[in-house]
Structure 1
Amino acid sequence: MSAPAVVVTGLGMITPAGGDAESTWKGVCAGISTARPLPELAGLPIDFACTVDGDLAGAVGGRAAYRMGRFTLLGLLAAVEAVADAGHDPATWDGTRVAVVVGTSSGGTASLTEQAALYERRGPGATSPQGVLLTIPNMPAAEIAIRMHATGPSMAPCTACSSGVTALSVARDLLASGACDVAVAGATESLVFPLVMQAFATSGAGARTDGDPAQACRPFAPDRSGLVVGEGAAIMVLEREDDARARGARCRARLAGFGASTDAHHPTRPHPSGRIAEVAARSALREAGWTPEEVQHVNAHGTSTVLNDATEAALIARLYPHRPPVTAPKGVLGHCMGASGAIEAGLTVLSLEHGLVPPVANLDAPDPAFAIDCVTKTTRRVDLRRAVSHSFGFGGHNAVVALERD
């Protein structure tokens, strides 16, 4: 018996381009980087990043907001939007049949670092009684479950920068198995603080600039020089297609297939052949029942680092020789780390809906060594029905999702 089809009925986002899915989409379609200098990073080798504006605690509201780390606040805000977009009311649904699967790469590392500094400077009494809650990586899933009265399965997958796609895959499997009827799934991340920025500078992975930070992230460009750190969250509401249609819900996209693999090569460098990442992509296509030639758009991982872009470009050229249009949202949003896969999958849903592929920011033309068709300068209109989103993470974690519209 085949597994039931699973669809996206709700989408929520909060990113450096905007406080919801619509404004994020518009920002990514504009193709202008959100990177800017930040006072809290002054004096560091990398003093700029892509960050979310606004009072997150105020937006969440209530005293409970002050027990939440920034990554948790971001995830909760995206979840509230997604559930409302799906047309659900958590006050009336059967919470025992609702699962929450929200990934993150590093959890509340920023809060842990802040608490450690307080301990060193002022002693144990200066630390927060909420210190543990501000830090542990399952808190976005936990706080979303509390807010949504969701008492079904709850978990927090971590596969580095592919955590968001991993979370969607786990949620899909829970729905297919009958463990839940609704899944609130995605990922969140907030790592813009001095210790991490210094780490990226020291490792050589972070882009540096003596000019405009908004020009620093250039995925697939000949002169790409490294990633720019971002933050954000994206959450989807997933349901079995038959259930969604029975309640008259809008099916925004179908999760046609997932694939995963592990390079088992190096903690930070991708396997140079890209063949192991290709296994993940082919697995997603096989599960979807597509040939590679049926893929009409690739939302690339596209980090703007020398090795990752070269490896991914070779994979795309080899697997999709018909040259479907490629975009890389990190040029606008920065690398949102554990949240990036969920954000980019959400943007792929929007591309399918709008029939538009956003441009890669700061790119005139891809590196001549890359035989891929990057969208540049402005959006490209395409009659899209099938698309894939690639996510690759430190540790060699590869995850690919295939998405389609009716």
Structure 2
Amino acid sequence: MVIKLIHYTPNTIVSIIKKHAPKKYKSILEPSVGDGSLLAPFSKNKNHKDITVTTYDIDGSALSLMKKKYKSSFKKIISNHCDFIKHHNKRNKYDLIIMNPPFSAKYNNWIKYNNERCPIEMAFLKICLTLIKPNGVIIGVFPKSIISGGTNSSISLRYKLLNEFDLKYVYELNNFEFPSIESQFYVVIIKKTSPINKTELRKNNLKLQIKKGHLLSNQFRLDYSFYKSLDLYQKLYTVDFLKHSRLSEFCEVFRGALPPPYPKKGVFHSTDFKNLNAKEEERNISTLKVNVKKIHFGDIVIKRVSRDCISSITIYPYFDMPTPTDCILVIRIKNNLLSPEQLLFTLRTYYSCNEGGFLLQKGTGANFLSIKSLRNIKLPINLHILYSRIFNNYVNSLNENRTEESNMIENNLREYLFIVVSTDNVYLDRDIIDIPLPSS
């Protein structure tokens, strides 16, 4: 599915565009103009009568509305009713490029550009990098594929931005900045001048200056929340008495191997999590005879692809050994180092939260978890011992299906740990945590 954002431009984006537009410019390119919402901040510029605007769009009616809307706002509007990627003019260069291109929400909608498949938004940006004048500015609205995508094409594009341009700012927008679109979006400010050694990442009134070396060690990711979460967890990993180990050292992690179309019986799919509280005798059990790994009683199961897969971590509580689909990740404890409840307590307390999602989840549309990132997470294998009273309350809430209570226990302990490390307190007093219970 290719999505085109044709909604009004939120005030947040308008203010960013105004702030970073060059002081002097005579030519603007908008390669997917729609109704022209991104042009609004420039139509009121005191020199707007000196500006020539070149626009492209495949929607002729939107182009007509745009020209009518801005007919007296600029010196000249050149509108091209065609596909920008196929028919852009390679000879023309521009002082300012503003863009909010369509984006490919799924891999099936990627396009072929320069002999490789890539998201359509990436093709738009690659072309615009060739059309900007020296000292010109590109201001673009992009999804996560550009900012944190893990494909070779995404990583190489970010490398190019950092090494051939001055990638000045990346603004992380709040969720639902575009009300009807759930995906995370960013506003990127690129200037065609010599590159510098750092980029500033911003969110609301917060900012981080990240040096190129730090970006290099993280695949040149450009998302503020990732680095903020990474810093938080790295501090947590250094707390001496929390005995951290990589998950792969004491657990096997694998992805279900059953591809679609999925059988109706004998499998465990992402839609089956809601049925995990049913009693064993109430379930319609059927075993699928295929030669792939099964889910065992006590395994940890996670949705691989979901809106919030990091919050789906749970224990598989039955003995029927279903076949996991390719949308399921399974964690199996080795050598009984921990019980399923101990691992669940530690996993969910550490990572079933916004910070864990920013650190581990990827994806442009739906989020997903990779086996590699899951295997490499660190966990304190003694957390249930340090906070034994809290852990015992947690197990009781699990056994009695008091989900609200178990979630509250996780949240309160996590919040306490995060506050302590963020304030550089060197000791965590396990006795001062009071876990309030939900009101009945």
Q: Which TM-score applies when normalising by structure 2?
A: 0.24
Higher percent of residues as strand: 2
Q: Which TM-score applies when normalising by structure 1?
A: 0.25
Q: Which has the larger radius of gyration?
A: 2
